[in-house]
Chain A
Amino acid sequence: NAGVTQTPKFQVLKTGQSMTLQCAQDMNHEYMSWYRQDPGMGLRLIHYSVGAGITDQGEVPNGYNVSRSTTEDFPLRLLSAAPSQTSVYFCASRGRDRGTSPLHFGNGTRLTVT
């Protein structure tokens, strides 16, 4: 029972490099989202998707792109990495309901940009 799977677990980038954080879920959840966690700031929403082909911006979208071509996958792209993007990134999903269902989180990706 995999749930939400994120890869890689750790990544080091140089400033200006690009990369894609992968996220896949096997629970047939319609809703998927990306959060970043920084010390002392809790988790902040980057982008989210309410279904295949539909994405929208969250609180801190600048410097990130997303797409949702399938229900299962929701990759997060860093276009040109900056040190300010050093963070722990979490992908999450939930089923479609009245909103009472909690988010299921992946185990996170720790990204360092030098």
Chain B
Amino acid sequence: AQKITQTQPGMFVQEKEAVTLDCTYDTSDPSYGLFWYKQPSSGEMIFLIYQGSYDQQNATEGRYSLNFQKARKSANLVISASQLGDSAMYFCAMREGPYFGNEKLTFGTGTRLTIIP
């Protein structure tokens, strides 16, 4: 089974609208962390937001928020008031288990977001 599933290969959204990018995960470990990264056409990987499995509140970073539904094992990224610069590939990733020394991040296959003027 896929550990990280992103079911939307591509999305088109009108500028200034909010957008939700889906991510579901699979783990039996009670300790895990979820990350979202943005990859523009220039190719670099940019960290957006982090959610820990024990965090009581949904993470927020500026226009980015993470809709964390633990029972459903979903960690959807919400971008409010989308901008043309948000057009990029977005990856969801998970780190499982004991944190110290655990360097394995499992990535989803990504969602390509295109913002339409």
Contact = CB atoms under 8 A, between A and B. Distances in A.
Interface string A41-52: 111110010100
B76 interface: no
Contacts of B50: 100, 102
Nearest to B46: A105
Dominant secondary structure of chain B at its interface with chain A = loop
B105 A41 contact: no
Say which size band chain B's interface belongs to: 20 to 34
B103 A50 contact: yes
Contacts of A48: 103-104
Contacts of B102: 99
Interface residues of A, number: 28
A108 interface: yes
A87 to B, nearest CB: 13
B107 interface: yes
A58 interface: yes
A99 B100 contact: yes
Nearest to B95: A99
B18 interface: no
Interface in B48-100: 50, 52, 91, 93, 95, 99-100
B58 to A, nearest CB: 15
B77 to A, nearest CB: 14
A108 B108 CA distance: 18
A53 interface: no
A11 B57 CA distance: 45
A35 B39 CA distance: 14
Contact of A100 (B52, B91, B101): B52
Interface of A: 31, 33, 35, 40-45, 48, 50, 56, 58-59, 88, 90, 92, 96-100, 102-105, 107-108
11 contacts: A42-B4, A42-B108, A42-B109, A44-B107, A56-B103, A90-B45, A96-B100, A98-B99, A102-B37, A103-B47, A105-B37
